[in-house]
Amino acid sequence: QKEVEQDPGPLSVPEGAIVSLNCTYSNSAFQYFMWYRQYSRKGPELLMYTYSSGNKEDGRFTAQVDKSSKYISLFIRDSQPSDSATYLCAMIAGGYQKVTFGTGTKLQVIP
């Protein structure tokens, strides 16, 4: 079983839709949770970072963490074609630097 599971998609939505991206994990030592956006043939770009259960909002993006269920989500409101990219969840266990990534979900927002 992988430490981090993420549906690879692809996920296609119309412009303006609310997008929900999810990851589950099995390692209860994970304490820090991130979402990265990766455009084709580019390096990942950090979108959101959180370490506690609950919601964290930044503009159109909301990161949600449920440690009891080992489940994290990223919501994108009013999705735009420029949001089309691969979104990777990532996690760090307490006391370590190593980042464990999900496989990424490819999102396409159709105008």
Query: What is d(CA 100, CA 34) in angstroms, rounded to the nearest whole number?
Result: 10
Closest contact distance (angstroms) between CB of 79 and another protein is 22
The answer to whether the beta carbons of residues 32 and 97 sit under 8 Å apart is no
Nearest CB to another protein, comparing residues 9 and 17: 9
88 binds another protein (CB under 8 A): yes
The answer to whether the beta carbons of residues 16 and 78 sit under 8 Å apart is yes
Closest contact distance (angstroms) between CB of 47 and another protein is 12
51 binds another protein (CB under 8 A): yes
Query: What is d(CA 31, CA 36) in angstroms, rounded to the nearest whole number?
Result: 16
**Interface residue list for another protein (CB under 8 A):** 4, 6, 8, 31-32, 36, 41-46, 49, 51, 88, 92, 94-99, 101-104
